Structure 1
Amino acid sequence: MTDAPDASALGPLARRVRRSLNGDHPGETGTMLPPLVDHHVHLQLVRPDDAVAGGIAAVVDLGADPGAIATIARTEGLPHVRYAGAFLTAPGGYPSDRPWAPAGSVRELRSVDGDADASAERTREREHQALAGPVEAVVDEQWRFGASVVKIALNADAGPVFDRPTLDAVVAAARTRGLPVAAHAEGPGMAELAIEADVDVLVHAPFTDRLDDELIARAAAAGQSWISTLAIHVRDGGPAAGIAIDNVRRFRDAGGRVLYGTDLGNGDLRAGVNPDEVAALVRAGLAASAVIAALADPWPERTAGWTDAGVATFVPDPAPSGADLADPEAVAAWLAAAQIVPTEELEPR
């Protein structure tokens, strides 16, 4: 570590700054980053205030009662919130039977591939813009509650999952509303199903199986993004952490877009910037600059404007430099010290 690192080594999002003499810790030097985002949280399972305790200014909630999360998102102050609304799943599918799933947070959809007469009638209705079918109605419900993304559950280890026609119908209905589709893919063949169905985002880096290089290349070429959530596997032990880290490494090598996310609300996890998550991303081949990019990515929005509210992330010196920029523990310890501060308190050096 050095006391005066070259900010350019941390990537284009980093700027060397000094704390204003009019603010807290006057004269302290460090690095200014954009407001940081945890792209996978569950705010009905944790206190929203906890999410900002360690440098996270914005979050993406990926499974909640639509009315409840819309109310939380309207609360003034931090964190800024984008959300998916309810989990969409097959009848009896994950997480409909989970005690942690908040009331009203799951919508079960029957298969659209029913008898031929009913299928033909649904087609005629859509062609004439008549009453929406069940899939369209459920997607429209999330949109009306202000969702920025649609969340589907494909967990073959925990119950039934959508067949391909129903999955395609959900993706099509979401695209009609301009919403990306994010999938929880768990169990044999589920990541493959999500990739083949052109799902936009996997909410967990695949951890069930080592995906083959060709499938990973297809996901990256299609523009799919993966939310990391590696720390939950590091915490739990077992082979999942190694599988997920290896898949992320090869996805990044193929040009894939990785988003930082922790699944905050899933058991005991440190709120704010999670050092275990950061260290696992570095082990997956992301340099410090790439980890910062994953933390600052505006998804599910296309621009960073939704995280702007006169605040920035400040990380005090010393910052990593040289070989430490690729050292998991060094990068994790540095970013874990991140703080949210008013932008006006930071002066460029």
Structure 2
Amino acid sequence: MLPGLIDCHVHLAFDAGPDAIATVQAADEASLLLGMAGRARQLLDTGVTTVRDLGDRDGLAVRLRDAVADGLLHGPRILAANAPLTAPSGHCWFLGGEVEGEEAIRDMVRNNARGGADVIKVMATGGGITPGGPAIWESQFSLQNLRTAVEEARRYGLPVAAHAHGTAGIADAVTAGVDTIEHCTWMSDGGFDVREELIDEIVAKGIHVCPAASPDWQGFAKRFGQDRAKELFARVRWMDQRGVRLVAGTDAGVPRAVFDGFVASLEFFQHVGFPRDRIIEMATVDAARALGIADDTGRLARGYRADLIVVDGDPLNDLDALRNVHFVIADGRPSVPERAVVRAVGAKVTGV
């Protein structure tokens, strides 16, 4: 038995298919919400009892969050960002968060906050899944723009998560005072731009970093190129060794980042040299701390939410044990994963 797992970076509106963007753009509200509910249940069945959804459409993640909290649907606790702030025609513009100028930025933060957001998401740089958008390392906002977003979020008591691949965008996000940096891949035009002094600042400010390692990280390495992937992967271990507070997330929903692949994402950290006890902390108590909910989840302790899972085996010896989830309790509500039911029925039928 161990605390329920926490995935710090998902997109429930995306289906992890080869053209997730076209799918979400084509879906009507009802069908999209239905798909999101199914994906939330899929996460729960794999032992994930809390997720942070970092960008959806039409406030649907908030509606799903409330339905789960009210006991109308089975699913993990959801911390929702609503539409992520992005530049005009910028990364994930189709989710409805395009802004230009400080007043538009303030208005979007206010709209998201009034719409029930638990966190404000800002696309500080471009991304890899938006056709025609800026390059993945290109900054989308000025430092002042990012400061404005953080300042307005603070008025509503909300943390800020910054999507940042490019080093210039990472630097501006850190200076602006964001709470978490997503991806943090240290990219520049044609290579990498690693800055020692910037790492020191991230550590000093206590900013958490979520690499958002895809469950398909091995396939990513093949597509990205083994040499570049090796450098990228090594940077994650390097950040840990320098004292950066890393937490687990999958980017579930983008192409090939499936919703039942959390353990595969954790195995990425094992691949680059993290010990298993540290990996489990990154997916439980450390993740809870990064999301601002460490006072009620992430640990098995008196007075905490009943978020826990029962697995077959000891994940401290083999992370694969986390794939064998027999029982889940999320906020005190019990749930038996479909796979566990199939295993139990199969064992009874075969007499095993």
Residue pairs, 1:118-267, within 5 angstroms: 133-156=103-126, 158-159=133-134, 161-187=140-166, 189-206=168-185, 208=187, 209=192, 211-231=194-214, 232-237=216-221, 238-239=224-225, 241-267=229-255
Q: What does 1:1-349 align with in structure 2 at a 5 Å threshold? A: 32-46=1-15, 47-76=39-68, 77-96=74-93, 101=94, 105-112=95-102, 133-156=103-126, 158-159=133-134, 161-187=140-166, 189-206=168-185, 208=187, 209=192, 211-231=194-214, 232-237=216-221, 238-239=224-225, 241-272=229-260, 274-296=262-284, 297-298=287-288, 299-305=290-296, 310-321=306-317, 330-331=318-319, 333-342=320-329
Identify if the C-alpha distance between structure 1 residues 39 and 89 changes in structure 2 by more than 3 Å, giving closer, same or farther. Answer: same
Cα offsets for 1:288-313 (capped at 9, x unmatched): 12111111122423325367654412
Cα shift at 1:110: 1.4
Contact 1:84/1:149, CA 8 A, preserved across alignment: yes
The separation in 2 between residues aligned to 1:93 and 1:230, in whole angstroms, is 22
Q: What displacement does 1:273 show? A: 5.1
In structure 2, C-alpha distance between the alignment counterparts of 1:92 and 1:43, rounded to whole Å: 22
RMSD: 2.6
Contact in 2 for aligned 1:210/1:243 (Cα 8 Å): no
Q: CA shift at 1:192, angstroms?
A: 2.4
Greater radius of gyration (CA):
1
- Secondary structure at the aligned position of 1:155 is classed as coil
Contact 1:315–1:335, Cα closer than 8 Å, also in 2: yes
Q: Report if the CA contact (8 A) 2:146-2:172 is conserved.
A: no
- The structure richer in helix per residue is 2
Kindly tell me: are residues 147 and 33 of structure 1, through their superposed partners in 2, closer, same or farther at Cα, counting changes over 3 Å? same
Unmatched 5+ stretches in structure 1: 1-31, 113-132, 322-329
2:258 & 2:246 partners in 1: Cα distance?
20
Shift of 1:286: 2.4
**1:311 and 1:190, CA in 2 relative to 1: closer, same or farther beyond 3 A?**
closer
Unaligned runs of 5+ in 2: 16-38, 69-73, 128-132, 299-303, 335-352
Residue deviations 1:244-276 (CA, integer Å, cap 9, x gap) = 422221221222211110000011234245233
User: Following TM superposition, by how much is the alpha carbon of 1:134 offset from its aligned partner in structure 2, in angstroms?
Assistant: 2.9
Cα deviation code 1:62-95 (max 9, x no counterpart) = 0012521111111233211111111101222112
Tell me which of the two structures has the higher relative contact order, counting C-alpha pairs closer than 8 angstroms and 6 or more residues apart.
1
Please, what TM-score do these two structures have when normalized by structure 1?
0.72
> Is the 1:207–1:241 Cα contact (8 Å) retained in structure 2?
no
Amino acid corresponding to residue 163 of structure 1 in structure 2: S
Task: State how far apart, in whole Å, the 2-side matches of 1:55 and 1:241 are.
Answer: 29
- One-letter amino acid of the structure 2 residue matched with residue 249 of structure 1: R
Preserved contact between residue 54 and residue 336 of structure 1 (Cα < 8 Å): yes
Q: Quote the offset at 1:34 in angstroms.
A: 0.8
> How far 1:36 moved relative to its partner?
0.9
Query: What's the TM-score, normalizing by structure 2?
Result: 0.71
User: What CA deviation, in whole Å up to 9, does each residue of 1:129-169 have, x standing for no partner?
Assistant: xxxx4322211111112211110112246327112221111
The count of residues paired between Structure 1 and Structure 2 equals 278
How many Å separate the matches in 2 of 1:344 and 1:265?
25
Match of 1:21 in 2: none
**How far apart, CA to CA, are the structure 2 residues paired with 1:186 and 1:70?**
27
Change (3 A) 1:66 1:258: farther
